[in-house]
Amino acid sequence: MTPEILFRDARFLVIDKPAGLPVHAGRAGGASVEDFFHLWRRGKQGPWLAHRLDQDTAGCLVVALKKSALLAAQRLFAGGGAEKTYWAVVRGVPAETAGVVNLPLVKVTLGKSWKMVGNAGTGQAAVTAWSVFGSGNGIAWLAFRPQTGRTHQIRAHAAALGHPVLGDAVYGGGAGPLMLLARRIMLPLEPIVVAEAPVPAHMAAKLRECGYGAQ
């Protein structure tokens, strides 16, 4: 199914990327976000992905419809000017209600797999603010606001807190669908670009256990 469009103007789309759909086609083929580009193309070139989301992460993904818009968005993402909020359901409940993870990350290859690990010496700067929105039954609903944009940053920093994202087999959250949503994005351009993704079906029950919908 074509991803839902959460925001649209002459410069950008923000789509609701389904969990499990990669942004690029893999070597083995299969569906990807790029398969829908022909539906959104406005001229002979583009569109272009302004940033990336992991295959198993759902939610807000910015697509540029003009090259000038792409360059403007890339400058914001590179400089930390894009405001991003992720929701996650994590294993366990943090002792504090909020905090900041400041842990540089480096990619480590282990056989045919890889992951991001904390390394203050060789890692790239990675900073994530977090807060607890609710909890129940030994799990918690957290909001993460990354100030940098490293690969797997939210997943690695959640694990560093001792509370990995549920369903994250790489970072210790167990098997099953990844409970991670790119909930909201805002690009402070003129005019502003802002969108909010709905809670995907695979996260709804766990979020309700943590109090979502009861406020």
CB 105, CB 119: distance < 8 Å: yes
Give the Å distances, CA to CA, from 193 to 83, 92, 112, 129: 10, 34, 39, 22
Which 8-state DSSP code applies to residue 19? Answer: T
51: nearest Cα among 28, 31, 27, 80: 80
Reading the block at residue 86, the tokens are: 């992720």
Please tell me the distance from the alpha carbon of residue 46 to that of residue 28, in angstroms, as a whole number.
24
DSSP strand pairing (58-64 vs 180-187): parallel
Active site residue 54: yes
Give the active site residue among 16, 54, 56, 168: 54
CB 31, CB 21: distance < 8 Å: yes
CB 7, CB 191: distance < 8 Å: no
Environment class of residue 10 by beta-carbon count within 10 Å: exposed (0-12), middle (13-18) or buried (19+)?
exposed
SS3 at position 31 = coil
Catalytic residues: 54
